[in-house]
Structure 1
Amino acid sequence: MVTVGVLALQGAVREHEAVLAGLGCHTRRVRRTDDLDGLAGLVIPGGESTAIARLARGSGLLGAVRARIDAGMPALGTCAGLILLADEVADPAALAGLPTVGGLDVTVRRNAFGGQLASGEWDVDLTVPATTDGQLASGTGTGADPTDGRMRGVFIRAPRIERVGPGVEVLAVRDGEPVAVRQGPVVACTFHPELVPDATLHRLWLAGADLHDTPSNSPVAPS
């Protein structure tokens, strides 16, 4: 079994751990730079991007994460994790002077849809064609019904992806807008896939990064 880290400064740490455990991964909480040693991949969870950045300030942790990603370590960023991975934040004032990770060629806008009243749970549409055996055309398992082509996500004060770089693949859209993207072994999304009993995105990331052989049709309910 591979060991996947979950950045554990703030946010939905336990929920990601539950999904990963259900998919057969060992997990390790990452709070210091040496916690990154030996990891096959890292999840940067949703929460508050400014809180995570403040807690990481002075530790060198986010810079160490970037160095590992540049060296080929797969990463999955959800909601706040997407913001921290983005090369450009359209409203940078809140993160001014704070460390981020970067490395994902997208522009995002924080809290782009408003506050809690604009939050909710929706299906999103996969944009990579699924084949009849339940795999994505790129060879990545979706974990969803191949005739469905959808996955479920919870959007909480969600960011918006305003620009996608030429080397970034859009994996899913909602109302025509990109909500999940992939650049090499890095996957990021605007929503919280760990809060619903649908492990599609985690399974897609694990299989696409060649971290683990995950079954193609067994949803995992986070505890």
Structure 2
Amino acid sequence: MAGNPRVGVLALQGDVREHLRALERLEAVAVPVRRPDELASVAGLVLPGGESTVIDKLARSFGLHEPIRQAIAAGLPVYGTCAGLILLADRILDAAAGQRSFGGLDVTVQRNAFGSQLDSFETELSVSGWEPPPVRAVFIRAPIVVDVAGDVQVLATLADGRIVAVQKGSVLGTSFHPEVTGDLRFHRLLLDLIQERAAAHDAVHAHQ
């Protein structure tokens, strides 16, 4: 895509390197984000898998929680995988004491919905509006979306109907880890959303 957008990966805990590599393969300028000034320099953000409670605490410690929340509310394109999906949910069904999210997706999530690390699994998923092949989805202590509201779009479900991928405007969330399998389509979708936002911004300024 034109312009090689600068895309951040929240680099407090979790599988940061895998997301940086995925973005680099798509020729984005991929940078770790640990401070508010680094957040301010990016056109989009990935929230990686890891421990949602740990990432939440570290984001507050590093002074990032409120800047990220405000950036998402202002339209920053964001993609959250696994723990990142939990951090984007407006409601967490089984939140730890004091746990907070950044919000942005009008959904309720359930943490560790499939059990422990030993219950990790892979499956193939069809994604709404996407051409084959299906996405090879890796679930590791993954959450599920137990309900959606507002204008949240369901992108993918398991065979039993449980929701595992959602989108609301420029905010994406998946229960699974496409960065593990090398499937770049969700990261490419994030870059498309970044490009759309930049084009809309340019159009507004062209008419001022």
Structure 2 residue matching 1:35: 3-state secondary structure: helix
Cα distance in 1 for residues equivalent to 2:135 and 2:94: 28
**Equivalent residues of 2:90, 2:105 under 8 A apart:** yes
Counterpart CA distance in 2 for 1:13 and 1:117 is: 22
CA contact (8 A) 2:43 2:194 kept: no
What are the residue-to-residue correspondences of 1:1-223 with 2, within 5 Å?
1-92=4-95, 94=96, 96-128=97-129, 130=130, 146=131, 148=132, 150-175=134-159, 176-210=161-195
Counting helix residues as a fraction of each chain, which structure ranks higher?
2
Query: Matched residue of 1:122: which SS?
Result: strand
8 Å contact kept, 1:83–1:108: yes
Shift of 1:211: 6.1
> Whole-Å Cα distance in 1 between the matches of residues 78 and 133 of structure 2?
23
CA RMSD of aligned residues (A): 1.6
Letter in 2 for 1:155: F
Maintained 8 Å contact 1:126/1:149? no
Percentage of identical aligned residues: 51
Structure 1 residue 149 displacement after superposition: 5.2
TM-score (norm 1): 0.82
Could you state the TM-score of these two structures normalised by the residue count of structure 2? 0.87
Q: Which runs of 5+ in 1 are unaligned?
A: 131-145, 213-223
Give the secondary structure class of the aligned counterpart of 2:195: coil
Q: Which has the higher contact order (CA 8 A, sep 6+)?
A: 1
Number of residue equivalences: 193
**1:173 deviation in Å?**
1.6
Letter paired with 2:179: E
Please, which runs of 5 or more residues in structure 2 have no aligned partner? Answer: 198-208
- Aligned counterpart, 1:219: none
Alignment-mate amino acid for residue 207 of structure 1: D
